[in-house]
């Protein structure tokens, strides 16, 4: 598979089969993804793999957590302006339309939102942390690592969904994976094989046309 093909095929999958993911495949993908660039070769990513029996343990542990946690960071800026606000709004509405959940059915939308914390049924996942001393440049490096990992997963026939929603559960995730206090949870990534019968997996999010984001001088 060419890189351009992996870029075109990769998308966020929100319904997975329970087909197991080979542990060695994940190890190989992470090893390859570590070739992603980082300023000064700092390599700020710290990754915890949850797969097989560990996923079952995590789901059992997750169900015991009852307290509301302070999010690790604000996922979206307060007062998000245009055109960013409309882009975020539309992808949500497109997804709920495929799921058959109307805007007025708030309880159904909340139940669907909570599926984030089930990794949408994925059998495997990673949690990505970053040292709290790191700044925006290193967060950018982590993003490049994640993109590299997801493209490699696509090449390997796996599907993924990067989930910043996990930033709302930083304490419980850190407790489960044993992350030291100097590490901050950035996101989780659901990993597995998409359910081809799930309508939500047909969602293809829009992209801004080139003229809207690129200026040629």
Each residue of 68-84: pLDDT tens digit? 899 999 999 999 999 99
pLDDT at 30 over 90: yes
Ordered by where they begin, the domains of the chain are 3-72+119-197 (3.40.109.10)
Q: Binning pLDDT at 50, 70 and 90, where does residue 197 land?
A: very high
Q: Give this prediction's pTM.
A: 0.94
pLDDT at 14 over 90: yes
Answer yes or no: are the C-beta atoms of 208 and 87 closer than 8 Å.
Answer: yes
Closest CA to 142 of 158, 126, 124, 154: 126
Answer yes or no: are the C-beta atoms of 9 and 160 closer than 8 Å.
Answer: no
Structure confidence at residue 66 (pLDDT): 75
Percent of the chain with pLDDT over 70: 100
Q: What is the pLDDT of residues 111-163, one digit of tens each?
A: 998 999 999 999 999 999 999 999 999 999 999 999 999 999 999 999 999 99
Q: What is the pLDDT of residues 35-68, one digit of tens each?
A: 999 999 999 999 999 999 999 999 999 888 878 8
Mode of pairing for the β-strands spanning 45-51 and 159-163:
unpaired
């Amino acid at each position: 598979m060419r890189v351009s093909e992996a870029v075109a095929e990769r998308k966020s999958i929100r319904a997975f089969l329970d087909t197991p993911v080979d542990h060695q495949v994940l190890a190989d993908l992470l090893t390859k993804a570590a070739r992603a660039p980082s300023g000064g070769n700092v390599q700020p990513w710290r990754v915890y793999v949850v797969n097989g029996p560990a996923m079952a343990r995590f789901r059992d542990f997750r169900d015991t957590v009852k307290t509301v946690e302070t999010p690790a960071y604000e996922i979206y800026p307060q007062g998000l302006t245009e055109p960013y606000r409309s882009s975020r709004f539309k992808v949500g509405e497109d997804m709920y339309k495929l799921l058959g959940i109307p805007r007025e059915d708030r309880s159904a939308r909340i139940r669907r939102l909570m599926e984030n914390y089930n990794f949408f049924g994925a059998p495997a996942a990673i949690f990505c942390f970053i040292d709290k001393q790191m700044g925006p440049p290193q967060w950018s490096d982590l993003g490049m690592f994640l993109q590299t990992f997801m493209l490699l997963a696509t090449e390997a026939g796996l599907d993924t969904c990067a989930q910043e929603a996990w930033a709302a559960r930083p304490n419980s995730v850190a407790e489960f994976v044993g992350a030291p206090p100097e590490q901050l949870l950035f996101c989780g990534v659901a990993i597995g094989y998409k359910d081809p019968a799930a309508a939500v997996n047909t969602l293809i999010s829009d992209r801004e046309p080139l003229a809207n984001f690129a200026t040629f001088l």
